[in-house]
Amino acid sequence: MMQDPVRVGLLGCGNVGSALVRLVDEHADRITARAGVGIEITRVAVRDVTRHRDVKLAPDRFTDDPSAIVHDHDVDVVVEVMGGVDPSRALITEALEAGKPVVTANKELIARHGPELFGVAAKAGVDLLFEASVAGGIPLLRPLRESLAGDRIHRVTGIVNGTTNYILTRMAEGGASFADALADAQRLGYAEADPTADVEGYDAAAKAAIIATVAFGARVRLEDVHTEGITGLTDDDVESAKLLGYVVKLVAVAEEIDGDIAVRVHPAMVPLHHPLAAVRDSFNAVFIEGEAVGELMLYGRGAGGGPSAAAVLGDLVDAVRNLVSGGKGATIGELVDRPVRPLHKLESQFYLLIEVADRPGVLAAIAGEFGRHGVSIQSMEQRGLGAGARLIFVTHRAREGDLAATVEALRSVEPVHRVGSVLRVMGDVG
Ligand code: NDP
Ligand code: HSE
């Protein structure tokens, strides 16, 4: 029996929202076959209703009042692609409480208020789906939640910000300046409305918190994520990485260590033969290490309207199918509190670039500080001569706390002019 189409209220019609409208239009037959019923976008909220948009929707479907859509009895499902915490948080809460399934791409909101919203959705017995919030078009959260539900995940390491990966690729391969590469990323629709969120690592941190929440079933807060961005990186670091057989990437790492959870985002030297080293431009990839599954990598477009809209649409089809069948999709389940291991207790290899006086005895003085703090040196090489002399060290695995103490001490060593970048070096796999 044919049913009337499910009526979707769309909050936001920017990069992701407008791509979703086009997909729903172009793939109508396939969507109906998969969802079991047609989908129609009946109302759309935007800030500026007068702006021209490349979508086939009549002007009378647009409003600048998202609340009117959430409370409209003729809207069955709400899709939120406006971004930001307010008013999205209240709107999604009200939609769920009204018994309407919600699909969102809003990582900031889920990272900050996910557990609260999951509770509202569970109480109302409706879906809250957010696949597009992490790694754009890559199916990641559903595989973690469903396909790997029975396995024990040890670690998830991801390149989950398209903007920074695009910038780093352009700097490493094309010699572009940071500013030019960022401007292109903004033009291509990868960057957040405020690109500080991308380049300072906040966007990746939100995604890391969501990954950790889903992978470990734990209540992981955004403030639990140690976050460093890419704004402190120099051309020298990018060049040194090349010479040493690495490539610099902004990575998000969520891992379980003896029952503790550790989540962090920072630039890292990735060995060229690691699968993540090959992830270029705005592509994202997530490398999963699980007890039974072993090593697994998911790769694809992590940013941009089309890929993200494909993930939103997948969730939408799921939500509509559940709505029609009277069921509910797989949920995240009961979240538990787990101890968060502080950064200073974590271990890594490190790369350090130190500007020094170019004269006898300097190396011994510096090496002495490493030794005094229990940090073992794996390799050292000098770049430049005279006033331009820099020493580049790669350490063996050391505690973050010991490395920080070494750096502090090095700042007082007379021939050290400046301790430049300190980057983690990712280990090999396999
Ligand atoms: P855009 O800035 O392109 O679009 C936002 C849309 O929301 C615009 O249409 C805007 O209206 C509307 N809007 C914003 N605030 C309000 C408000 N208070 N009332 C009514 N309408 C409002 O953002 P994106 O499409 O790039 O991103 C949307 C969401 O998806 C964000 O949460 C983002 O983090 C997430 N996301 C984005 C990805 C990407 O690659 N772009 C990838 C994955 C997730 P108007 O057009 O009039 O300004
Ligand atoms: N600004 C984000 C990025 C969009 O560059 O990855 C996708 O979440």
For residues 326-336, average pLDDT = 80
Residue 1 in this model has a pLDDT that exceeds 50: no
pLDDT of residue 298: 98
Alpha-carbon distance of 205 to 185, in angstroms, equals 19
Residue 175: pLDDT band (50, 70, 90) is confident
Could you give the percent of the chain with pLDDT greater than 90? 90
Residue 3 in this model has a pLDDT that exceeds 90: no
Could you give the percent of the chain with pLDDT greater than 70? 99
Residue 334 Cα to ligand 1 midpoint, Å, equals 30
What is the chain's mean pLDDT, rounded? 95
Strands (E), 38-189: 39-45, 62-63, 77-80, 102-104, 128-129, 153-159
pLDDT per position as a tens digit, 282-324: 999 999 999 999 999 999 999 889 999 999 999 999 999 999 9
pLDDT of residue 204: 98
Residue 161 Cα to ligand 2 midpoint, Å, equals 5
Residue 133 in this model has a pLDDT that exceeds 90: yes
Looking from the CA of 323 toward its CB, the CA atoms found within 13 Å total 29
Residue 24 Cα to ligand 2 midpoint, Å, equals 22
Q: Rounded to the nearest 5°, which phi and psi values hold at 222?
A: -55, -35
- Please indicate whether residue 191, judged by its CB atom, sits closer than 6 Å to ligand 2: yes
pLDDT of residue 332: 80
pLDDT of residue 417: 95
Question: Which CATH number does 141-299 carry?
Answer: 3.30.360.10
Residue 337 in this model has a pLDDT that exceeds 50: yes
pLDDT of residue 430: 52
Residue 409 in this model has a pLDDT that exceeds 50: yes
**Whose CA is closest to atom 7 on ligand 2?**
303
Question: Which CATH number does 343-425 carry?
Answer: 3.30.70.260
pLDDT of residue 85: 97
Residue 329: pLDDT band (50, 70, 90) is confident
For 6-137+305-325, CATH number out of 1.10.760.10, 1.10.1040.10, 3.40.50.720, 3.30.70.520 equals 3.40.50.720
Residue 376: pLDDT band (50, 70, 90) is very high
- Please indicate whether residue 130, judged by its CB atom, sits closer than 6 Å to ligand 2: no
Residue in 198, 354, 349, 160 with CA at minimum distance from that of residue 271: 349
What's the Rg (C-alpha) of the chain?
Answer: 24
> Which ligand 1 atom is nearest residue 203's CA?
34
pLDDT of residue 158: 97
Give the predicted TM-score (pTM) of the model: 0.96
- Please indicate whether residue 131, judged by its CB atom, sits closer than 6 Å to ligand 2: no
Looking from the CA of 157 toward its CB, the CA atoms found within 13 Å total 20
Residue in 94, 334, 319 with CA at minimum distance from that of residue 213: 334
pLDDT of residue 327: 77
Site to substitute for ligand 1 among 13, 44, 46, 161, most atoms within 8 A of C-beta:
46
Within this chain, domains 6-137+305-325 and 343-425 share the same CATH topology: no
List the end-to-end C-alpha distance of the chain, in Å, as a whole number: 53
For residues 41-67, average pLDDT = 97
For residues 125-137, average pLDDT = 96
**Could you count the other beta carbons within 10 Å of the beta carbon of residue 289?**
15
- Please indicate whether residue 190, judged by its CB atom, sits closer than 6 Å to ligand 2: yes
pLDDT of residue 59: 95
Tokens of 182: 């960022």
For 400-421, letters b (16+ CB in 10 Å) and e give bbbbebbbebbeeeebbeebbb
Residue ranges covered by each domain of the chain: 6-137+305-325, 141-299, 343-425
Strands (E), 160-245: 226-227
pLDDT per position as a tens digit, 95-126: 999 999 999 999 999 999 999 999 999 999 99
For residues 55-63, average pLDDT = 96
Q: Does the annotation count 249 as an active-site position?
A: no
